[in-house]
């Protein structure tokens, strides 16, 4: 099977902001790997290709925008106002720039996954482009997720301790 999806629609009320963000990162890694399997296995059974493409499409078109809003609208402005060190501020700004780069690649991939979902038989002609763009996506994610996990999230904990409950509440409200 191309995908083994563990469904989860919303954050549990007891999860804190960091746990929620890291959970999103785990799902990003999971669905990126599923997308790579789609591109690398064009001879997989059509029903499995369609199911995997639907799952990837659903995650990247519905769930990922919520995560991006968590970071852009909730985390970024607070960290921008509160972080005193240049490293955290630069990483915070880079986070937004990287979101734009990721969105550009995803804009090219979403119609391809839609086509595989709709008509898995077309994957033969799409596979090379799908693989190239998904590899680009994976590379961008590696850089981006590492930046957030190594710099942005620790800065959030260091500089926004008093606001972490409010951040988590805003994130939950988006779901």
Class of residue 128 by CB neighbours under 10 A (exposed 0-12, middle 13-18, buried 19+): exposed
The predicted structure's pLDDT at residue 14:
79
Overall average pLDDT of the 16-43 stretch = 97
Q: SS3 breakdown of the chain: % helix, strand, coil, rounded to 5?
A: 85, 0, 15
Is 2's pLDDT higher than 80? no
pLDDT digits (tens, 9 = 90+) for 39-54: 999 999 999 999 999 9
At 8, the pLDDT band (50, 70, 90 cuts) reads very low
At 10, the pLDDT band (50, 70, 90 cuts) reads low
Overall average pLDDT of the 16-24 stretch = 97
Domains parsed from the chain with CATH numbers: 17-174 (1.20.120.520)
Is 1's pLDDT higher than 90? no
Distance CA 160, CA 81 (A): 10
pLDDT digits (tens, 9 = 90+) for 126-142: 999 999 999 999 999 99
Class of residue 150 by CB neighbours under 10 A (exposed 0-12, middle 13-18, buried 19+): exposed
The model's pTM: 0.91
C-alpha atoms less than 13 angstroms from C-alpha of 157 in its C-beta half-sphere: 11
Is 77's pLDDT higher than 90? yes
At 9, the pLDDT band (50, 70, 90 cuts) reads very low
Contact 145, 7 (CB under 8 A): no
The predicted structure's pLDDT at residue 5:
38
Our separate counts of H helices and E strands in the chain read 8, 0
Overall average pLDDT of the 160-169 stretch = 95
């Amino acid at each position: 099977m191309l995908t083994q999806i563990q469904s989860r629609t919303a954050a549990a009320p007891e999860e804190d902001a960091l746990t929620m963000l890291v959970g999103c990162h785990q799902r990003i890694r999971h669905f990126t790997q599923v997308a790579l399997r789609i591109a690398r296995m064009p001879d997989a059974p059509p029903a499995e290709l369609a199911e995997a493409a639907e799952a990837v499409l659903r995650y990247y078109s519905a769930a990922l925008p919520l995560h991006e809003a968590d970071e852009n609208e909730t985390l970024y402005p607070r960290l921008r106002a509160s972080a005193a060190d240049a490293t955290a501020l630069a990483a915070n700004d880079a986070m937004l720039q990287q979101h734009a780069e990721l969105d550009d690649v995803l804009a090219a991939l979403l119609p391809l996954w839609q086509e595989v979902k709709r008509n898995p038989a077309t994957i033969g002609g799409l596979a090379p482009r799908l693989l190239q763009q998904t590899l680009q996506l994976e590379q961008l994610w590696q850089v981006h997720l590492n930046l957030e996990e190594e710099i942005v999230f620790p800065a959030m904990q260091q500089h926004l301790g008093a606001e972490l409950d409010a951040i988590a509440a805003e994130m939950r409200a988006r779901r």
